[in-house]
Every structure is written in C-alpha cells, then in structure tokens.
Amino acid sequence: MIRDNDRLYDLTDTNSPAESLAEIKNILLLIDPPLDPSPIEKIYADILRLFNGEYPGYRASNTKYHNLEHTCSTALATARLIHGLHVQGQVFSPRIVQLCLIGALFHDTGLIQTEEEVKGTGAQYTIGHEDRSIAVMEKYLIENGYSQEDIRDCGHIIKCTELFFPIEDIPFESEEVRTMGKVLGTADLVAQMADKNYQEKLPLLFLEFQEAGMEGFETPLELFRKTEEFYRSVARKRMVGVLGGVSSAALYHFRERWKIDNNLYEESIKYNIRQMKETVVESLLQLSIISGGDGK
C-alpha cells in the first residue's frame, strides 16, 4: 500500500542536502532562467558546515527535531511556494527570491550553540530562537558583503516564522517582502507537519520542549493527541489568515513541475494527522487493557 505522504518524498529526498539543493536550483530555473544560483549555492554550503560543526565559532547542531533535514525541507518548500505563486502570475525580483531562500536556510540557526554555549543543547533557546537566527544571518551577511537593506528585509522574512508573533507588527519595506515573509512562515509549518517521519519525530520535539521549559505537554502522547487541534486551531488558521493562504500555491507548483493535480503537502499533513489519531487510540486501548489487568 502506498502511503499518502510517499508521493511527496518520492519526488525529492529532503534527507539528502545535495538532492534538495538540486531541486531548488531546478525550481529557480522555472521561476527565472537567468537568475544566478551561485549565491544560494555558497550559502547552502556554509549552512551545511554550520549544522555539521565545521563553521568557525559554532558547535554542531544538536537539536534532533529542528535539524538540518528540516532546514533543507523548509528551503525546498519555500522554493516550491514561490514557484506556485509565479505560475499564478505573481512576479518577484531575483533579489527578493534569493533573500527568501536565505531566510529559509537561516531560520533555525538560532538553535545552534556558539562555541561558548556549552551547557545542554540548542533546544533551550527554542523560545526566542527566531531573533537569534536573525542575528546569525545578520553576522553572516555582513561578513559576505550584503547591504543593510538585504539584512533588514531578510530579518523581516525570518520573523514571520515566529508562530505567535503578529505579522502586522513587522515593518515590511514593501508588499513583495511581506509576501516572502508569508511564504517562509508557511513553508516552515508545512515542512514540519508534512514530514514523512513526523510521527517518529514528535517525541524528539517533546524533548526540545522539555529543555526549553515549555509547558502544556507532560508526555509525548499529549503531542500526538493535540496534533489535529494544533493544525486546525493554530497552524492552518495562521496559514489561511495572516499568512494569506499562500499554502495553496503548492498545488500550482506540483501541477506545473510534476503534472500532479494535488497539493502533496496537504495530503501528507492529513495522512500524518490520521496516523496520530490512530496511535492515540491504540495507546489508550493498551493502557485500558493494562489497567484492567492490574485491577483483577
């Protein structure tokens, strides 16, 4: 039996950074054939070094949920959404497309510890990691000759990944930058919730929440139980509302790029939610059986 989320990951293996980059470059050709991919290639290579502990001043990434694969998945989802909007007739400057992809690559770098930060893991910075990520991006772009305008706009784009931050409070310089912020905010959510191994990774997210001191989840099973509620009441509400519904652009990408007339992110998220619900029911049934056995 083919699982609903197999189709999405049969297209590109996001566990392979090289394969993800190759597909991002293919998509950039569809959006703007003359666009020079070399700046993205350089930053992509440096992000790999950063996550792997090979970049000066930083330790290797040690968060198991918000890891390199998630960053690659988010960057690919970002490119796909931009392409979907392009297919729908929206026009973006090469500069803003590159800044959005740069934002995707840096959006979780605040969870990577510096060489001086030796206690625990980067998960302790979960609350507020977006601002730390912006700081890492700013330092990198300054060192590589980017303008203050580029840094400002990229920072505003990254800020849109902060789940409960009001997007209307971000002083975007233009509607184009605002749209890119909505794209990255959406890409971050769909890349997580459509992950092929989402169910297996949720316990890792629970451990990150624990280290960060985030309340509301006593066990990994609670994360499973609340997944559907989170998707419908928080993630999807945000995507449809303040993020402007750009998630629907994925359909146009998959239709144009792969001749698939479905939003594969949406399919995969729905599959994952069904799996969560089944896991919760099975776990509660087992607990009931165990409790009944103890009572005899």
Q: Is 125 within a domain?
A: yes
Least confident of 15-24, 197-206, 219-228: 219-228
Q: Is 1 within a domain?
A: no
Domain span at residue 150? 6-291
In total, how many domains does the chain have? 1
Pair of tokens at residue 221: 């099973």
Q: Is 232 within a domain?
A: yes
Q: Is 135 within a domain?
A: yes
| pLDDT tens-digit series, residues 247-262 | 999 999 999 999 999 9
Domain CATH code at residue 241: 1.10.1300.10
The Cβ-side half-sphere exposure at 107, using a 13 Å CA radius, reads 33
Q: Is 61 within a domain?
A: yes
Q: Is 176 within a domain?
A: yes
pTM of the entire structure? 0.94
Around Cβ 233, how many Cβ atoms within 10 Å? Answer: 11
Q: Is 186 within a domain?
A: yes
User: What distance in Å separates the CA atoms of residue 118 and residue 102, rounded to the nearest whole number?
Assistant: 27
User: What distance in Å separates the CA atoms of residue 147 and residue 286, rounded to the nearest whole number?
Assistant: 58
Q: Is 296 within a domain?
A: no
Q: For residue 259, give every residue at least 6 positions away whose Cβ sits within 8 Å of its Cβ, in sequence order, or none.
A: none
pLDDT surpassing 60 at residue 4: no
